[in-house]
Amino acid sequence: MESTVQRHLKENILSLVVPVHNEEATINIFYNTIEKLKPNLTADVHYHFIDDGSTDSTLSILRDLSKINDNVHYISFSRNFGKESGLYAGLQQADGDYVAVMDVDLQDPPELLPEMLREVQNGEYDAVGTRRANRNGEAKIRSWFSEQFYTWMNKISQTHLVDGARDYRVMTRQMVDAILSLSENQRFSKGIFTWVGFNTKYIPFENRERVAGNTSWSFWSLTKYAIEGVVSFSTVPLTVITVLGLLSFALSLLSAAFIVIRALVNNNSVAGWPSMVTIVLFIGGIQLLSLGVIGRYMAAIFLETKKRPIFIKKEEN
């Protein structure tokens, strides 16, 4: 993979990293919107679209755009590797001294881009990100789970996640190089953006709907993404099951002592089947839960030790 040291950086260039997956309905709308904004931007824009194994005409549209604009670049994956891989590939390809990450569906307000870029160029901030001020238009159950994720994640992790924070942000080259230095396979960018540090400002905005097309994020995929975040940035679940194990062991010793004393005092050997079954189920449930948590961390270790590439290119321009 290309080294960040060897990359020839281009001054006063804003590299716009845009992961896409089956977004044939939105790409041209996004491109035309950014083109209209260019007079308000204090840097030239280079597009870096990352096609994450799309099965529609996304790649064909990207090819056409690259033919009419030399500043439009793209990478097409050999299959769907996920948005995290797309972000990493885009940051690798970006050659500007300023780098922005943005979704193609225009849920990220493009009109904020000039302000975000100016704030970073002024040198006061290393990054200017965005966060949703509300979740209007989103299913209530989904909003509730999102809020709970941020609340509990910030309690169990030393890496603070801003509630409602989006991947949409403008960063300096120094911060991007720091992010690229974390080459882990199991990636959780929201945590990585925070973990690397640097002075970051967040701009709130009202939630908005997609401009076209359908989202590829289902409730289940978001749940898996949340679990990935917990495994990547917290070991508290392992501590919890350790405490549960110690408590279970202590309770078993107390129960054994109680049973022996009761048998000696009452000379009654009749077993309490309901209580015994309850205890067995309780202990068995804790054991299965503990094995599941430990197994998830072991799976992460297993995948990292394979040293598989984060993505595989099929086509690039």
Averages of pLDDT over runs of 10 residues in the chain (317 residues) are 48 88 88 90 90 89 91 89 85 89 87 89 87 69 68 68 79 89 78 82 77 57 64 68 71 68 63 63 72 74 72 79
- Statement: the pTM of the whole predicted model exceeds 0.75: no
Contact 215, 139 (CB under 8 A): no
**Residue 274, pLDDT score:** 57
d(Cα 176, Cα 82) in Å, to the nearest integer? Answer: 20
The letter for the amino acid at 64 is D
Q: Could you tell me which residues are beta bridge partners of residue 14?
A: 45, 98
Q: Could you tell me which of 96, 120, 102 has the C-alpha nearest to residue 166?
A: 102
Q: Could you tell me which of 238, 230, 102, 217 has the C-alpha nearest to residue 161?
A: 230
Terminal Cα-to-Cα distance of the chain (whole angstroms): 16
Contact 97, 12 (CB under 8 A): yes
Question: Which DSSP string do the residues of 144-156 spell out, in sequence order?
Answer: HHHHHHHHHHHHH
Matching residue, tokens 């281009």:
10
3-state class (DSSP) for residue 272: coil
Q: Could you tell me which of 206, 195, 201, 191 has the C-alpha nearest to residue 171?
A: 201
Strand bridging mode 127-132 / 200-205: parallel
Helices (H) and strands (E) in the chain, counts: 10, 8
Q: Which two tokens stand for residue 25?
A: 């309905």
**Residue 211, pLDDT score:** 59
CA-based R_g, the chain, Å: 25
Count of all residues that appear for the chain in the document? 317
